[in-house]
Amino acid sequence: MTTFRRTFVASCITAVLVASTGAALAQQPREVKIGYALAVNSHYGAGAQAWADSVEKATNNAFKFKQFPSSALGGERELIEGLQLGTVEAVIVSTGALSNFVPDVGVVDIPFLFRDTQHARNVLDGQFGQDLLTKFKTRGLIALAWGEQGFRHLSNNKRAVTKPDDLKGLKIRVTENPVHITAFRTLGASPTPMSWPEVIGALQQGTIDGQENPVSVFVSAKLWQVQKHLTLTSHVYAPMALIVSPAFFGSLTDAQKTAFIQGAKAGALASRQFVDAVEKKAVDEIKSHGVQVVTNVDKAVFQAAIAPAYKQYATKFGQKTLDQITQTK
């Protein structure tokens, strides 16, 4: 073979290899980092998996979700900041930290605002909830859907809480949320804002006496290991938001954006189904671990005790907004 032919053949082989490598790289799915606070086997994890499955299927595996559960990328505040900075593509977060970024979200955290789960879902799936999602854009966030954690309940290590007076002096961890802080201060407790990754250690060390969360969180976090008493106060409905980074979302085609929106809705539904299933058996499971559970709670007494805070809430969010929520069928 002449030098010319050897060079020609080598060039052809090189061209084929480069083309093959380029094709292989082009077929690599685009990674989507998704972070959330709890373990994979939680309502957060259920939402994340359904979101991933839906998007990957709809885009013919053009994307691959990489999950970071259990606050692996930081607390919820850090996750939200990561979205704004573009260092993380997607998150599922509670409204606890969100109100510091999107103040209008705080209205859904008002105690005893929602009659029951169906009422809450109707509000968030209706015009009010969808309008609230659009307000995220002005804060550098793209919120796609409302998922669910369930109604929040109170737990502690000191005593059974059956009436508001029992809360006096208790150091209760609350989310970094002004609405929650106002509520527990009004009830006579000592609210202590704290990010979720710090909570278990603080309960173990006695830095705080208790916390408040849905039973879905109590179970997934195995809080029976650090709490003796649980009172089913159902004081606040707790949604969660499925959000993506504006930088990431802006890089998608219209078809891909649709896939992410539909995927987020699938994730939201999966979280609700997970919560429904957990709440049917959660209390019995919690009791089986030795936790003393107060199930018969006179909510009217707690509502009356927290009534003074409603003046502040009406001033902050507008009485018209509160009425719009309460009047939703």
Residue 45 lies in a domain: yes
Residue 285 lies in a domain: yes
Residue 102, pLDDT above cutoff 90: yes
CATH number for the domain harbouring residue 125: 3.40.190.170
- Quick: pLDDT tens for 267-276: 999 999 999 9
Host domain of residue 196: 30-319
- Quick: pLDDT tens for 35-67: 999 999 999 999 999 999 999 999 999 999 999
Q: CA 154, CA 294: separation in Å to the nearest integer?
A: 10
Residue 327 lies in a domain: no
> Can you name the residues that pair with 210 across neighbouring β-strands?
156, 172
- Quick: pLDDT tens for 103-151: 999 999 999 999 999 999 999 999 999 999 999 999 999 999 999 999 9
Instruction: Count the Cβ atoms, other than its own, within 10 Å of residue 329.
Output: 7
21/7: higher pLDDT:
7
120 close to 149: Cβ distance less than 8 angstroms: no
Residue 16, pLDDT above cutoff 90: no
Mean pLDDT of 28-41: 96
Residue 229 lies in a domain: yes
Residue 22, pLDDT above cutoff 70: no
Q: CA 20, CA 101: separation in Å to the nearest integer?
A: 46
Residue 217 lies in a domain: yes
Mean pLDDT of 284-306: 96
**Which pLDDT band, with edges at 50, 70 and 90, does 6 fall under?**
low
Residue 10 lies in a domain: no
Predicted pLDDT of residue 26: 52
Mean pLDDT, the chain, integer: 92
Among the residue ranges 10-24, 112-126, 282-296, 302-316, the one predicted with the least confidence is 10-24
- Quick: pLDDT tens for 151-174: 999 999 999 999 999 999 999 999
Predicted pLDDT of residue 92: 98
User: What is the Rg, in whole angstroms, of the alpha carbon atoms belonging to the chain?
Assistant: 24
**Which pLDDT band, with edges at 50, 70 and 90, does 97 fall under?**
confident
Q: How far are the Cα atoms of 32, 160, 274, 283 from residue 264, in angstroms, in the given order?
A: 13, 39, 15, 29
Q: How far are the Cα atoms of 89, 150, 164, 237 from residue 185, in angstroms, in the given order?
A: 36, 23, 11, 19
Per the structure, the count of domains in the chain is: 1
**Which pLDDT band, with edges at 50, 70 and 90, does 4 fall under?**
very low
Residue 230 lies in a domain: yes
The token duo for 326 is 């309460």
Residue 9 lies in a domain: no
DSSP H or E segment with residue 24: helix 3-26
Predicted pLDDT of residue 96: 86
